Each structure stands twice: as C-alpha cells, then as structure tokens.
C-alpha cells in the first residue's frame, strides 16, 4: 500500500527580524520527521536572496531533514538563477520548487523566464541531478481563464521536467479531488501533494483566500463567523478543520500532504499529533536529500 508523504513549508524571517527566529521554528518542529521541509523564496526587492539556501542548508545539516528550496523566475535573470542554483548545490540541496512568482505592481519582469515552465526547462537543461518541483492550483490559478487551460499549462511544466507537484491551499477537499481527476485525465502522472494552510487568524485567512482566489466553504465560513473575534478558540477550531481535511485526503489515497506552517510550529505540532498515525514518515521513498 502506498504511503502518503508529509512535508512542511517554512519561510525565511523578514530582513529586519532576528535571523534566530527560524531556529525557533525549526526547533519547534523537531521530532515530526517530515519527508522534507521546503523554504520559500522572497520576490521583494529587499528580500535576501541567500536566505533560502542558508536555511535549507541548516535544515539538512543541523536537523537532518531533506530540504526543498523555492526559486522564483519572473524577476530573475539567468545569471541570478545560476547563482541561486550554485548556492543550493553548495548547501547540498538537490531539490528546487521552480516558480514564476506573483506579479509585483510597477516592477518590470527580467524577461528571461515568463512562466515557471521556462525555469523548469532551464534547470533541467543545466543540472540533470536536481529534482524539480512545481506548484499547482486545485481551484485554478487566478490568471488562467479556466481550470482546463491551467491544467494544460501545468502539463507543459511537467513535460519540461517537474517531477513532483505541490498544491495551493484549498478548504474544500472536493475541489482538490476534482482537480486531481482532471490532472490525471490530462496525462499528469507525477505525485501531487495537497497544500493545507491551517486557519489561525480570521483576517489573515480572508486576505489569503482573496489573494489566491480560493473559496471559503460554508463549514469554514461558520467557524470564521463564530470565532473570528476569539483568536484562541479559532486557532483550536482551525487545527481541527485542518486535521479533518488531512484525514479525509489520506483516506482518499492522496500522494501527500504539504502543511503551510506559517512558521507557527505549535499549530503544526498539534495537527501532526492528530494525524500522525495516518502517515509513516521517512518511509515514502523520497529520493533526494
């Protein structure tokens, strides 16, 4: 029987935040033994381009967990991609999540990579050993005209060399299953992990779902209505909601679950405590480290 993967996303601390805060996050995740931890990549002008590689290195060396480094394409030149890949290799990171990145108002794209698939093809051409991940969108990427169009674009990314996909957050598993059926029917046969973002703060979730054009299904709307002004109770309800989503996903045989930790290890731990018996981490045959 196939074992679902379990992975976690963290982000580098903001430039003006003490760099040690990432250790608090990683220490807080100790003992969970996910199949990998992925580290986001900032697109902002003030983002520190070396942070992702440094944190991925720490995850691998000090915590002994495989790391996946995110890399965005749109505002990045070929030289900067080469530099980033060099940094990742030196850090012993052998898996990259290749992304386009979100458009930044008033900022001119660098022109080298229009879509994530262009970055995937470039990495595949220049580094045959790198495992390449890509992003996908169960509710359709906001810039695509419909899910069918988005999935044919996703197929280009997979054909270019993405061998593992991680989904955007969603709050109704039916949306994920619908997307999965369509992706498989379109010939996308790589593992697809379901992205789960726990609800811990009503304002933040409303902002995220607006940004991602995601739906808030009625059961989640009820939680936000009832406990939106009671952060402590909402957090507990959010942990239960995410745990139920994960149990249902595993029961449906998904390839894996990717938890957006938001650098809140206590919430991640609580969810893991609820669902860990459904997984056998470290036994899923991930072939990168």
150 lies in the site for ligand FAD, by CB under 6 A: yes
- Cross-strand bridge partners of residue 8: 37, 259
Q: 144: exposed, middle or buried (C-beta count within 10 Å: 0-12, 13-18, 19+)?
A: middle
Catalytic residue among 9, 62, 108, 125: 9
Helices and strands, counts by H and E, the chain: 10, 8
- Are 88 and 80 in contact by the 8 Å Cβ rule? The answer is no
100 lies in the site for ligand FAD, by CB under 6 A: yes
Is 9 catalytic? The answer is yes
Which member of 57, 58, 131, 168 binds ligand FAD (CB under 6 A)?
168
Which member of 147, 166, 192, 237 binds ligand FAD (CB under 6 A)?
166
Minimum distance from CB of 145 to ligand FAD (Å)? 9
Q: What DSSP letter does each residue of 77-109 carry, written as one string?
A: -HHHHHHHHHHHHHTT--EEEEE-----TT---
159 lies in the site for ligand FAD, by CB under 6 A: no
Nearer to ligand FAD, 208 or 278 (CB): 208
What SS3 class is residue 271? helix
77 lies in the site for ligand FAD, by CB under 6 A: no
User: Binding segment for ligand FAD among 77-85, 96-104, 219-227, 237-245 (CB under 6 A)?
Assistant: 96-104
99 lies in the site for ligand FAD, by CB under 6 A: yes
What SS3 class is residue 132? strand
115 lies in the site for ligand FAD, by CB under 6 A: yes
- Are 229 and 207 in contact by the 8 Å Cβ rule? The answer is no
Catalytic residues: 9
């Amino acid at each position: 029987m196939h074992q679902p993967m379990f992975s976690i996303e963290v982000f580098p601390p903001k430039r003006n935040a003490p760099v040690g805060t990432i250790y608090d996050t990683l220490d807080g995740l100790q003992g969970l033994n996910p199949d990998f931890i992925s580290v986001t990549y900032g697109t902002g002008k003030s983002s520190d381009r070396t942070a992702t590689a440094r944190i991925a290195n720490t995850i691998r060396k000090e915590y002994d967990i495989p790391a996946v480094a995110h890399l965005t394409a749109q505002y990045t030149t070929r030289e900067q991609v080469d530099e980033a890949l060099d940094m990742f290799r030196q850090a012993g990171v052998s898996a990259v999540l290749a992304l386009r990145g979100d458009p930044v108002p008033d900022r001119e794209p660098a022109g080298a990579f229009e879509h994530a698939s262009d970055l995937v093809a470039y990495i595949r051409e220049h580094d045959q050993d790198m495992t390449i991940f890509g992003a996908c969108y169960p509710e359709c990427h906001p810039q695509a005209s419909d899910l069918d169009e988005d999935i044919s674009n996703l197929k280009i990314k997979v054909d270019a060399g993405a061998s593992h996909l991680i989904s955007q957050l969603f709050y109704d598993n039916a949306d994920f299953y619908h997307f999965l059926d369509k992706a498989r029917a379109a010939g996308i046969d790589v593992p697809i992990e379901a992205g789960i973002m726990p609800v811990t703060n009503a304002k933040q979730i409303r902002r995220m779902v607006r940004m991602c054009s995601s739906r808030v299904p009625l059961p989640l709307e009820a939680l936000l209505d009832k406990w939106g002004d009671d952060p402590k109770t909402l957090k507990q309800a959010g942990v239960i909601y995410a745990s139920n989503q994960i149990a249902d996903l595993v029961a449906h045989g998904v390839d894996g679950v990717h938890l957006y930790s938001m650098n809140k290890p206590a919430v991640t731990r609580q969810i893991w405590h609820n669902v860990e018996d459904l997984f056998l981490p470290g036994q899923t045959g991930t072939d990168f480290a």
